[in-house]
Structure 1
Amino acid sequence: MTKKFILTVLPLLLVALAGCAGRIATPEAWSGGVADQSAVYIGSREGDFRALDIESGETVQRFTLTGDDDSLKGIYGTPVLRDGSLYFGGYNGVLYANFTPNLDKKWEEPIGSPIVGGPTLAGDIVLVGADNGKVYAFDQEADDQQRWSVSERWTFQTGNKVWSSPIAADGVVYATSLDKNLYALSLEDGSKLWNFSTNGAIASTPAYDEGTVYFGSFDSVFYAVNASDGTLLWKFDGAGSWYWGAPLVHGGYVYAPSLDGKLYALDKRTGALRWSLTTEGPIVGSPAVIFDMIAIGSEKKKEPQNLSG
C-alpha cells in the first residue's frame, strides 16, 4: 500500500468515526470504510452503499438497500472486504454480500432485525449481531453455476441488543451485548463457552491479541480478559465516561477510546496507563495506525498522536 493511497483513504475513515456518542436508543452516522486499489467502499445512513473513486472521491457505483421504509435503511457498521466481495449489514435487517467493483449482488439474507455492527468473516463463515440480541453465523457456498447462497449455521441469544461486531480467533467467537456481557461462543456450533459480566452495557467491538480479549463498557471501565476461560486479567477505571469505539492493540499497548474525549494508551499486559490524549469531543470511533502515528477522530476534531506518546 502506497503512501498516497493511505493519505487518500484516511480523511474518509476519520470522518466516519464521529457519530453516535451519548445516544443509546438509536445509532447514527455513516459506516466506516474499506478500500482496495481503485475504490473506497462506505455505507450511509441514507440507506445506500457507495464505491468512491480512490483518486477523486467521486461516487462511481451505488447500491441501494431493499425495503419500503427509508428510516430503516441506514448502514452503520464497517463492511468487510475479502477476495472481491463486500459484506455489510443494513438497519433494515438484511445481511448483504456484493461483488466489487460494481456492487453487484452476491447474496442477501434477511434476518428480521436491525443490524448496527458490521459483520465478521471467520474463514467462509459470516458472523453478525443484531438488534434482537442474537449473534448469527451463516455458511455461504456456490453451486456449479457460481450462484451463491447462504444457510444459517447457528444463532445465539443474548439478553439485549448486539450493536457491536463479533470477532473470531482460534475457533472461538467473542461478542458483546447491551446486556452487560462479553460472550465466548464455539465457532462450530454457537454453544456458550463462558461469559464475563460488567456493570454496564457493552456496545464496543472487542479486540483479541495473544490470548487476551480487550473491551470497554458503559460502566466506564476497560477490561482485559483471559480468552480461554473468561477470567479477569486486569481493568482500567481511570476514564471519565463510557467506551464506545473498538480498542486497538499495537505493539505493547492497547489504545482505548472513550466518550470522555480521551484516548488512553495502556500497557497491554498490566493495564498501566502510559499516556493519554485529550481531544475536543467524545471519541466514538476506533484508532488506526498510520505510519508511526495513531489517528483518532473525535466529534469536533481529528487528532494525530505520535506512537511514542
Structure 2
Amino acid sequence: MIRVIYLIAALFIFSCNNRQAKISNRTNSDTLPNKQSGENFQILIGTFRGSAQRNYYGKNPPDSLNVKWKIHLGIGKSSSYRKNGNQYWQGAGWTGQPLLTLENDSLYLYQGSLDHNLKKFRVSDGKLIWEYKFDDVIKGTGTIFALTSESDLTRKYVIAQGSRRGYGTTLSSKYAFSFRAISAITGESIWKFNVRQTQSFSRDADGSPLLINDTLYAGFENGVFSVMDPLRFNDKLNYTTPLIIKEINLFPKAPNRSNIVIESSPVLLGQRIYIAAGSGSVYGYNLNTKTIDWVYPIGSDLDGTPAVSNDSCLLVPVEKQYIPGNGGLLKLNPNVEPENSVEWFLPTGNKNFLDWAGGIVSSPAVNTLYEKINNRNLAVVSGIDGYLYLIDTDSINASGKVKGFDNSRFFNSPVIYDKYKIGQSISSPLIIDDIVIAASYNGLYLFRVNDELKLMLTDDFRTTFEATPIVYDGKIYIGSKDGFLYCFGN
C-alpha cells in the first residue's frame, strides 16, 4: 500500500463553469438518476453508472461484505478474435453492471451473463424470473427505459442490451444481431439490430445506450454512432428493427488501424452527447444541429466511459495503447474549443497486464450527487497499474506540471489525496458519501474515507472481478468472473 501525502499549500481551485460557453453544458436535472416510474414499475438504476451523466451508483452502502446470496450465472462459449479456436467464459465480464427496478414493491435485478443470457432475478430470494438467450456472450451493460408514447406495458418498459457479434458469426457475415431490445416485464424480444461491417475488427455492442425524448443513441464496436427511433420500424427488412435516423462513423475515412471500436457509453452534458471512441478521440454530438461539432484527439484506444464532474466537465479515462506517453485520467472542459479544453491530466503507471500496457480502462466515479467530505469534490478511479486513486477534481497540484499522454505537452495535474493497491482493475469503482467500493482481479474492497481524505479499508472479499457493482439499501450487487452474481451486505 502506498499513500500519497496531500499538501494543502500546493493547490489552487478553479471551475470549468468560469469559461465562456459556446454551447450550454449545464447538467439537466431531469436526466439525473433515471427513476422513471408508472404502473407499479420504477427504474432505480437503469443504465451504466445510473444516469445520463454516468455519475449515480445507488444509495445506502453496507458497512461490511458478508455474502447474503450468490447465484451461478453459467458458462458460455465464444470465438477468439485474436487466435483460432474458442474461449469459455463464465459469470459476468466488463462492464457487466446489474440494473435495478422496483415492481409492485419488489426489487428486481437484470444481469447480462457470459453464458449468452440476459437474466432477471428477484432480489429478495434470487429467483430467476426470465432469461433471454443472445447469440453470444454478454459483456456490457444494458439500459432500461420507458417509451412514453407506448401504451402496451410489455413494450413500454424495455431493456436495450448488447453482446458480442454472435458465436459462429464472422466479420463478413450478412447479419450480426449484437444489439437487441427485450421487454423488461416479460423477457420477450421486441426488436434486434444488425451491427454492420466496417473497417473495424469487431461488430460487438458493449456500451449502454441513452434514450432522450424517445430517441435512442448508441455506439457500437464497428465504430459507428447510431441514432434510432425505437418506436418506428424498418418495414423493408424481414426482421423487426428500429428505424435508423442517423449514423456517423467515429473514425477517419482511411483509419490506420482496425481497432476503431466504440466500447464506451454515451454521456449527456447540456445539449451535446459525448462519446469516447477507440479511434482515439472524444466526440461531441450536438443535439440541436445533429452533427459532430466538438472533437478532442487523444490517440489511444479509449475504452472507459467519461463521467460528468460537478462543474460540468468530462473526466475521460485514457488507456496506454497507441500513445507515446502514459495513460491516465483527463479532465476536459467542453465549454471551450477542444485545443484549450484540458484542465488537468492524472498519469498512471505503465504496467503490462493481459492485453493492456497501462492507463485506465475503468470509468471514474464522482461524488457530485452525494454528501461531500470536507466540502470536497472527489473522484475515484482504478488503474491497470493496480492502484485505486482518490483525487480532488477541482484542485491543482502546484508542485509542477506533468508530461501529457502525447509525451510532449505538459499539463496541470490534480491533487491526489490517497492511492491504495487493490491489484490490476478494469472494474469501475463507486463513491457514495464517505464510502468507496472498488473491485479488481484480486477481489472486492470496501473503504471509508476519513476526514483526512484517506482510504481506510474496512472489509474485502477475494475473487476475480471485471464487472462494475451497484449499491441499494445496504446491499452491493456485482457479477464475478468466478461464475457467480453476488449480493453483499451487513
1:242 aligns with 2:467: no
Amino acid at match of 1:149: I
- How far does residue 89 in structure 1 lie from its aligned partner after superposition? 3.5
2:362 to 121, 142, 164: 164
Deviation at 1:164, TM superposition (A): 3.4
Amino acid in structure 1 at the alignment position of 2:295: E
Q: What is the DSSP-based 3-state SS (H/G/I as helix, E as strand, rest coil) of the residue aligned with 2:442?
A: coil
What letter matches 2:385 in structure 1?
D
Q: Quick check: 1:79 aligned with 2:209?
A: yes
Give the TM-score normalised by the residue count of structure 1. 0.60
| Aligned-partner Cα distance in 2 for 1:212–1:190 | 28
Q: Which structure has the larger Rg?
A: 2
**Distance in 2 between the 1:139 and 1:229 partners?**
37
Secondary structure, aligned partner of 1:41: strand
Matched, 1:179 2:322: no
Q: Check the 8 A contact 2:477/2:485 in 1, yes or no.
A: no
For residues 392 and 277 of structure 2, what CA distance do their matches in structure 1 show?
16
The answer as to whether partners of 1:173 and 1:185 remain within 8 angstroms in 2 is: yes
Q: Is the 8 A contact 2:425 2:439 kept in 1?
A: yes
Structure 2 vs 1, CA of residues 45 and 175 (structure 1 numbering), >3 Å: closer, same or farther? same
| CA distance in 1 between partners of 2:294 and 2:428 (Å) | 25
- Stretch of structure 1 that moved more, 103-112 or 201-210: 103-112
CA RMSD of aligned residues (A): 4.5
Q: Tell me which residue corresponds to 2:95.
A: none
Q: What residue in structure 1 maps to residue 141 of structure 2? A: 32
Shift of 1:227: 10
> What letter corresponds to residue 141 of structure 1 in structure 2?
N
Task: Determine which of 103, 113, 117 is the counterpart of 1:17.
Answer: 113
> Highest relative contact order (Cα 8 Å, sep 6+), 1 or 2?
2
Q: Cα 1:131–1:199, aligned 2, differ >3 Å: closer, same or farther?
A: farther
Which residue in 1 is equivalent to 2:130?
none
Contact persistence 1:106–1:148 (CA under 8 A)? no
- Give the stretch that moved more between structures: 92-101 or 196-205: 92-101
TM-superposed CA distance for 1:67, in Å, is: 0.8
* Residue of 207, 210, 218 corresponding to 2:433: 210
Q: Does 1:45 align with 2:169?
A: no
CA shift for structure 1 position 200: 1.5
Is structure 2 residue 290 aligned with structure 1 residue 147? yes
In 1, Cα distance between the equivalents of 2:453 and 2:269? 21
- 1:217 deviation in Å? 1.4
Instruction: Quote the offset at 1:96 in angstroms.
Output: 4.6
2:110 aligns to what SS in structure 1?
helix
| CA 140–89 in structure 1, closer or farther in 2 if over 3 Å, else same | closer
1:261-276 paired onto structure 2 within 5 Å: 261=484, 263=486, 265-266=488-489, 274=490
Structure 1 position 232 matched with structure 2 position 450: no
| 8 Å contact from structure 2 (residues 440, 466) kept in 1 | yes
Equivalent residues of 1:204, 1:243 under 8 A apart: yes
Q: Which moved more, 1:207-216 or 1:178-187?
A: 178-187
Question: SS state of the match for residue 67, structure 1?
Answer: coil
Percentage of pairs with the same residue: 18
> What does 1:259-298 align with in structure 2 at a 5 Å threshold?
259-260=481-482, 261=484, 263=486, 265-266=488-489, 274=490
Match of 1:118 in 2: 265
The amino acid across from 1:74 in the alignment is: D
Contact persistence 1:202–1:217 (CA under 8 A) = yes
- 1:296 is matched with none
CA 1:152–1:250 in structure 2 vs 1: closer, same or farther (change >3 Å)?
same
Structure 1 partner of 2:255: none
- For 2:421, the equivalent position in structure 1 comes to 198
Question: Unaligned 5+ residue runs, structure 1?
Answer: 21-26, 267-273, 275-309
In the alignment, the residues of structure 2 paired with residue 192 and residue 65 of structure 1 have an alpha-carbon distance, to the nearest angstrom, of 41
Q: TM-score, normalised by structure 2?
A: 0.41
Give CA-to-partner distance per residue, 1:25-53, whole Å, 9 cap, x none: xx952533323243432223125433345
Residue-by-residue CA offset, 1:64-99 (whole Å, 9 max, x unaligned): 245145x51111233333443434443334555545
Letter in 2 for 1:140: Y
- The one-letter code sitting in structure 2 at the alignment partner of 1:73 is R
Q: Any conservation in 2 of the 1:32–1:79 contact (CA below 8 Å)? A: no
- The number of equivalent residue pairs is 252
Q: 2:209, 2:217 within 8 Å by CA — same for their partners in 1?
A: yes
